[in-house]
Structure 1
Amino acid sequence: MNWLKFFYYFATICVLLRQVETKHILGIFPHFGYSHFKVFYPLLHNLSERGHNITVITYIKATTLPKGNYEELLLKGMEVVNVVPLDEMKERTWKGLYDEYIALHDEGQESCKRLYESGHIEKVLKRHEMQPYDLVITEYFNSDCQLALPYLMKTPVVALSSCLLMPWYYDRILMPDTPSYVQSEFVGFRTPLNFHERLMNFVQAKALSLLYRYYTNYNDNKLIKHYLNIDIDVAQIAKQNTRLIFGNQHYSLMGIRPTTQQFVQIGGIHIKDEEINKVLPKEVDSFLENLKGDVLFISWGSMIKGSTLDADKLKAILNVLTRLDINVIWKWETDETPIKSDKFLFIKWAPQLSLICHPKVTLFWGHGGLLSTTEAVYCGKPMLITPIYGDQFVNGFAVENRKIGRIINFNDIKEKILNEELTQLRHPNYSTKALEISQVFRQRESQPLDTATWWVEHLLEHKVSEEVLHSYAVDLNWFIYYSLDVIALLLAVLFVFIFITKRLLRLILHRPVNVKYDKVKQN
């Protein structure tokens, strides 16, 4: 009986201790892209499993809910993006970059309207009065309208980026963007950059940052004023409240970049080791088991429909792949397949990571989306990248710069070019280098999910972390931050020194000399 009492009291104490450690976290993800939320969900899931109370505002319903306290406040009214037809893609130009930015801006503003009209904002604000939230986790992408909540709730912010950090977010934590060699999310070049490429990289990064600050954030402020009737500047709130930014990147692929303690690399956070051995569909497993030779896996992600290829490009691809000594598994969206052949298998879906990592799959042809690219790096497979939009260009060039893949632009898909690229990729140098990069990508001090979880709980556990993870540099204006006042003073002193020295030298060198001549009497 005494032992039963002891066990009861011990269990009660454990529960109470767990409740003390439990934190209340609000996740706000107004963007409707599934691939974005696929990066964020593992962290939210893990925090819930570890006993924290998680409330998430999102468009994406979780397929498997965690065992812990996890509540979804689902948004409606915007279609979750899954497919983009290839026949809509055009060559990238300066105007195209601007149009792409405006499209992102418009999507962000529409998402914000849906967020504020959902009724969820009022709900979480009322909850906060009863049981305060300790932290807000949100996405930094194409709008900051959600930052009104951490402002009103006086909570710190942990931001997540599903891609390379957008150029307009570096100043949130005073992280140098260094456009001389750090390529922006909107471009892609082979390294090292020449002068023209550095000029383009500099201009577009700075121009888009200004556009975001004075156009997008301006509209964010107007929208918040309309729905909440408060006057705030979301850019300033971001600088004051952001404590950490988690970026879905890793130096093994993207290279060394200047950083700060507030930026944490979590590239590959969506990858789970157990998914490598996930059972493949019967038709895929049978195809792989019965064939001889290597396999090329073609997939342009969840947003791009390979079945919308124009006839000329499709014919060129089929002609090349038919001639090459390689089998093909192709993600295809329709029941009607373009060719009947024993060396081709067209599938609507398969567990991508498990398929890419399969020993018989030796090449991956993708669109440069960061999730599939990261998975191919993880599996150590060479890649052929056909970038279409967004960050796919810079991802593709990162692959090429690491010598683990090659780029073939969409407009360059012709028989001769495609044959050359695939032939080059089958050289052992690419597979060897891909395996070497894979080892660096995998071997870390801790796995990306553990790293992200540790930082969140570190911030929550130590109240002083809110202070020490805030750089006072964000409070400085640009004139002082870049020491322009100091430089101006030093230049002024140098100018005065040069001026005085010059005057003194002039006085010395041009001083009149009195010469006395003795009169000599000549006979």
Structure 2
Amino acid sequence: MKLCVIAIVISVSVINSEEMKPLNILAIFPFPGKSHGIIFNNLLEALVRRGHNLTHVSYFPINKPLKYYRHIHLAEDTSAKVLEDDFVLESSYSTILEVNKLVVVAGNENCKMLLDNKHVQKLWMEKTKFDLVVYEYFSTDCPLAIAHRLGAPVVGLTGCTLMAWQFDTLGVPFNPSFVPQQFLDGDAKPTLFQRIERTLFHHYFNLYYKLIGIATDEQTVKSYFDDVPSLSELARNVKIILMNTYWMLFDFNLLPPNVIEIGGFHVSGNISLPNKLLQFIEESEHGVIYVSFGSIIKSSVSDSDKIEKIVGALSKLPQRIIWKWEDHKPPGNLDKIYVSKWLPQKDILAHPKVLAFLSHCGLVSTTEAVTFGVPIVGMPIFGDQPTNAAAIEEKGFGVRVQLSELTSEHLLEKFKTVLDPHFRAKVKSLSKSWQDRPMKPMETAIFWTEFAARHPNHTFRAPAADVPLYQYLNLDILLVFIVFAFTVFLGFKYLISVVFINVARNSNKAKKQ
């Protein structure tokens, strides 16, 4: 018995020592979206604190003194613009097309800026040894060319649901009858019109990305490397994709085994609020409603009519208001309002007196509210927000209001729904289920990141990613059935014609006799 115990202790020690072996990690995050940088840095910081050496290429450094951390700033000596407070409250087909174009073109620009950076070039020219490359799986796969040159396995990290062009790469089936299209409204039970809409936009986004995104990036990569496979091929060999979702909110995708859900991984750490803000919340007699439309939507310059409708609804509620507002002058004539250009959102949502959240339904905001059990009134604008808002309402975490339907009375009714004690109790219960997992999301993210480095010679992609289109659509099987049916038809036709000919001959013989 003692020998068994000793053997177990030694085995665990060996496993732990292997897991804790310091890795040399290269993290490449070339997209200049502030909300993206904020959540990704949580995982990168956790990896450094585990003793790994990290070289971080991005626009958003980790602003903490970390011993094994080095940052390469992509905005250095350039006019690169960080995406922050750039959009207004507007939702339409033209907005969808414009945002899709922005994402793809931004990916092309990010690719050029990344490969043109002299410090990044130095990494591959000096053949720096890296055990792993972590990159943002979003609008460009250019980091994969660098990873290939360095001979390192790759982990992708995405802060949103899958983009249209990522379904085929991962071998994920897209069926518009139950799988939402990220940029469009609709839940897992769409109408006929929504299914048509999803199909058209899905194929349009795919085609646009292949003709503009991938094609442009391929030309950029060729100007720096002459011995790198196509980006499409490299994308199929990414070891692990870590995605900021969880099946409790999104259960409509048939994800392959190498796509690991880590929804809410960034929601951790101590809760800390500025004294003035903390006092504002704690002195609220009826609680607080938090209002924010994310880091890239500028509320203060949005359509004044929409803002007035929001203010009209909020003014009829007894709760205090905290609003991410980019102007010094508060919106409307709201009493008891706290405004700031920047707010510690995660810490605000964690406070028990925060009763509801008026949100654009970005995935970062959504996962934070779900984690802390704060009911959401969703007002989606673009990107993955319509999909997130639909999932929020379908799963019972909140309700949604379309911009086209926005009135003060309609919004007020939505707030009354989520502020109802029974509704809030249900959301709290769902939140407990959301948090009840075998491993914490951050621990899951760290495990699979280190797993990819421990097993660099294995790729775990779904077989569907390698199946030719004609097989994926079962066209060959259909052809066999058609040929078989046609052959049977010809056979019956031949037999019938033979029978009729014999009958005719016998009839003629009988007449002659």
Give TM-score scaled by structure 2 length. 0.88
Preserved CA contact (<8 Å) 2:246 2:263? yes
Preserved CA contact (<8 Å) 2:95 2:382? no
What is the aligned partner in structure 2 of residue 3 from structure 1? none
Counterpart CA distance in 2 for 1:499 and 1:394 is: 51
Counterpart CA distance in 2 for 1:344 and 1:473 is: 53
Deviation per CA, 1:109-146, whole angstroms, max 9, x where unpaired? 22222212211332111342xx5222221112112222
What is the aligned partner in structure 2 of residue 110 from structure 1? 109
Counterpart CA distance in 2 for 1:310 and 1:211 is: 30
Identity of aligned residues (%): 29
User: Is residue 389 from structure 1 mapped to residue 382 from structure 2 by the alignment?
Assistant: yes
Deviation per CA, 1:64-94, whole angstroms, max 9, x where unpaired? 2444x221111113122221352xx43311x
Counterpart CA distance in 2 for 1:481 and 1:352 is: 44
Residues 349 and 470 (structure 1), Cα distance of their counterparts in 2 relative to 1, 3 Å cut? closer
Preserved CA contact (<8 Å) 2:290 2:321? yes
What is the aligned partner in structure 1 of residue 22 from structure 2? 22
**Structure 2 residue identity aligned to 1:122:** Q
Counterpart CA distance in 1 for 2:425 and 2:158 is: 31
Tell me by how many angstroms 1:470 deviates.
4.2
User: Is residue 318 from structure 1 mapped to residue 311 from structure 2 by the alignment?
Assistant: yes
* From 154, 157, 163, the counterpart of 1:157: 154
Preserved CA contact (<8 Å) 2:373 2:431? yes
Residues 180 and 312 (structure 1), Cα distance of their counterparts in 2 relative to 1, 3 Å cut? closer
Query: In the TM superposition, what are the counterparts of 1:175-254 in structure 2 within 5 Å?
Result: 175-229=172-226, 232-239=229-236, 241-254=237-250
Counterpart CA distance in 1 for 2:474 and 2:216 is: 32
Tell me by how many angstroms 1:403 deviates.
2.7
What is the aligned partner in structure 2 of residue 439 from structure 1? 432
Preserved CA contact (<8 Å) 2:399 2:418? yes
Query: In the TM superposition, what are the counterparts of 1:315-354 in structure 2 within 5 Å?
Result: 315-338=308-331, 343-354=336-347
**Structure 2 residue identity aligned to 1:254:** F
**Structure 1 residue identity aligned to 2:37:** F
User: Is residue 503 from structure 1 mapped to residue 494 from structure 2 by the alignment?
Assistant: yes
Counterpart CA distance in 1 for 2:290 and 2:151 is: 48
Residues 193 and 341 (structure 1), Cα distance of their counterparts in 2 relative to 1, 3 Å cut? closer
Deviation per CA, 1:96-121, whole angstroms, max 9, x where unpaired? 33222222222122222221221133
CA radius of gyration, larger in: 1
Preserved CA contact (<8 Å) 1:295 1:329? yes
Deviation per CA, 1:261-309, whole angstroms, max 9, x where unpaired? 111111111100x33xx23222222222323113211112222232224
Q: Which runs of 5+ in 1 are unaligned?
A: 1-13, 518-523
Q: Which runs of 5+ in 2 are unaligned?
A: 1-13
Counterpart CA distance in 2 for 1:125 and 1:21 is: 24
What is the aligned partner in structure 2 of residue 285 from structure 1? 278
**Structure 2 residue identity aligned to 1:335:** H
Preserved CA contact (<8 Å) 1:280 1:350? no
What is the aligned partner in structure 2 of residue 269 from structure 1? 265
Residues 225 and 426 (structure 1), Cα distance of their counterparts in 2 relative to 1, 3 Å cut? same
Counterpart CA distance in 2 for 1:266 and 1:20 is: 21
**Structure 2 residue identity aligned to 1:408:** V
What is the aligned partner in structure 2 of residue 362 from structure 1? 355
Give TM-score scaled by structure 1 length. 0.86
What is the aligned partner in structure 2 of residue 72 from structure 1? 71
Preserved CA contact (<8 Å) 2:153 2:453? no
Counterpart CA distance in 2 for 1:319 and 1:476 is: 55
**Structure 2 residue identity aligned to 1:136:** V
Preserved CA contact (<8 Å) 2:45 2:62? no
Deviation per CA, 1:189-236, whole angstroms, max 9, x where unpaired? 144111111111112112211221232111011111223355742112
Tell me by how many angstroms 1:400 deviates.
1.6
> What SS does structure 2 have at the residue aligned with 1:320?
helix
**Structure 1 residue identity aligned to 2:224:** Y
Higher relative contact order (CA 8 A, sep 6+): 2
Counterpart CA distance in 1 for 2:175 and 2:87 is: 35
Counterpart CA distance in 1 for 2:337 and 2:417 is: 21
User: Is residue 430 from structure 1 mapped to residue 430 from structure 2 by the alignment?
Assistant: no
What is the aligned partner in structure 2 of residue 169 from structure 1? 166
**Stretch of structure 1 that moved more, 183-192 or 484-493:** 484-493
Deviation per CA, 1:316-363, whole angstroms, max 9, x where unpaired? 333332222322222222322245665323234432122112221111
**Stretch of structure 1 that moved more, 429-438 or 342-351:** 342-351
> What SS does structure 2 have at the residue aligned with 1:180?
coil
> What SS does structure 2 have at the residue aligned with 1:43?
helix
Preserved CA contact (<8 Å) 1:18 1:51? no
User: Is residue 47 from structure 1 mapped to residue 43 from structure 2 by the alignment?
Assistant: no
Instruction: Name the count of aligned residue pairs.
Output: 492
Counterpart CA distance in 2 for 1:327 and 1:96 is: 32
C-alpha RMSD of matched pairs (Å): 2.7
Tell me by how many angstroms 1:37 deviates.
2.0
* From 478, 489, 494, the counterpart of 1:487: 478
User: Is residue 60 from structure 1 mapped to residue 60 from structure 2 by the alignment?
Assistant: yes
Counterpart CA distance in 2 for 1:253 and 1:474 is: 25
Residues 37 and 484 (structure 1), Cα distance of their counterparts in 2 relative to 1, 3 Å cut? same
Counterpart CA distance in 2 for 1:282 and 1:257 is: 43
What is the aligned partner in structure 1 of residue 85 from structure 2? 83
* From 239, 255, 258, the counterpart of 2:254: 258
User: Is residue 374 from structure 1 mapped to residue 367 from structure 2 by the alignment?
Assistant: yes
What is the aligned partner in structure 2 of residue 11 from structure 1? none
Tell me by how many angstroms 1:473 deviates.
5.0
User: Is residue 305 from structure 1 mapped to residue 298 from structure 2 by the alignment?
Assistant: yes
What is the aligned partner in structure 1 of residue 7 from structure 2? none
**Structure 2 residue identity aligned to 1:28:** I
> What SS does structure 1 have at the residue aligned with 2:289?
strand
Counterpart CA distance in 1 for 2:294 and 2:424 is: 22
Counterpart CA distance in 1 for 2:377 and 2:351 is: 17
